[in-house]
Amino acid sequence: MSDRVTTNEQFANPELGAVQIEEDSGDLSRSDVLLKGALAAGAVYGTLAVGPFVRKALAMTGSSDVDILNFALTLEYLESKFYEEAKSRAKASGELKSLVNLLASDEKQHVEALTATIKQLGGKPVPEPKFDFPYSGTGGFLKLAQTFEDTGVSAYNGAAPMIKSKEVLAAAGGIVQVEARHAAAIRLQNKEEPAPAAFDTPLDEKQVLKAVEPFLA
């Protein structure tokens, strides 16, 4: 069955070729359940159709915990750089200035923790990307900050169910709650609702990358 999908595809996860679709398997991990759907669809529609669909699924579902953490690390690098720059560029004073310092410190700690965890898992942390944040002044800063924090929350919420390790999941949970706290604080500075909806809907990797792509230099 596995040769239906392995053809000449390069898989991010080399274990994919060995995945067996067992209809009766009662102990699939979370990501297996989702990936099983993708592979089953390929079995019906043919190998070529599986390619892009599986690639999209692999971006999140077939991804190892290291891949997911590197995805998170990319976002944390973005936020960390953004707030470091904001210390001078946002022209913040008083309460907002304290908030910027807090956010910068938190995101830096997230970068450090994710980097350490990835290494602990035997993975290679992504190098820090180059960013370009076009904004001027406090208003511009606050607008971007809100986008980044809200997106960060949804990105973590989208990725977390795919995490295999309970320890990594717990760590991700501890980070996303802080991002949500950040989001609420920034929104209050913007005189916006801190919690605009009852549920923070998850975003998938494609949607998240679309949101942050404009800021990748």
Partner 1 sequence: MADIKQLAGPQSRRKFLAVGGGSTALAAFLAACGSDSDSSSTGTTAMSSGGGKSETAEFGKGDVGILNYALTLEYLETAFYADVVKSGLFKGADLETIRKFGQEEAEHVQALTQAVKSLGGKPAPEPKAEFPLKDAKSVLELAGTVENLGAAAYLGQAANIESPEVLASALAIHSVEGRHAAALNTLLGETITPDGAFAKPADVKTVLESVEPFIVG
Residues of this chain that interact with partner 1 (CB under 8 A) are: 30, 33-34, 99, 102, 105-106, 109-110, 113, 153, 156-157, 160-162, 166-167, 169-171, 173-185, 188, 193-195, 197-202
**In the complex, least distance from residue 57 CB atom to partner 1, rounded to whole angstroms:** 13
**In the complex, least distance from residue 97 CB atom to partner 1, rounded to whole angstroms:** 15
**In the complex, least distance from residue 46 CB atom to partner 1, rounded to whole angstroms:** 27
Q: Which is closer to partner 1, CB of 49 or CB of 195?
A: 195
**In the complex, least distance from residue 26 CB atom to partner 1, rounded to whole angstroms:** 12
d(CA 98, CA 180) in angstroms, rounded, equals 18
Write the burial class of residue 131 (CB in 10 Å: 0-12 exposed, 13-18 middle, 19+ buried).
middle
d(CA 170, CA 168) in angstroms, rounded, equals 5
Q: Which is closer to partner 1, CB of 137 or CB of 174?
A: 174
User: Alpha carbon 104 to chain centroid distance?
Assistant: 18
Query: How many of the other CB atoms lie within 10 Å of CB of 128?
Result: 15
Q: Write out the E strands in the chain.
A: none
Q: Which is closer to partner 1, CB of 65 or CB of 106?
A: 106
User: Alpha carbon 141 to chain centroid distance?
Assistant: 22
Q: Which is closer to partner 1, CB of 144 or CB of 176?
A: 176
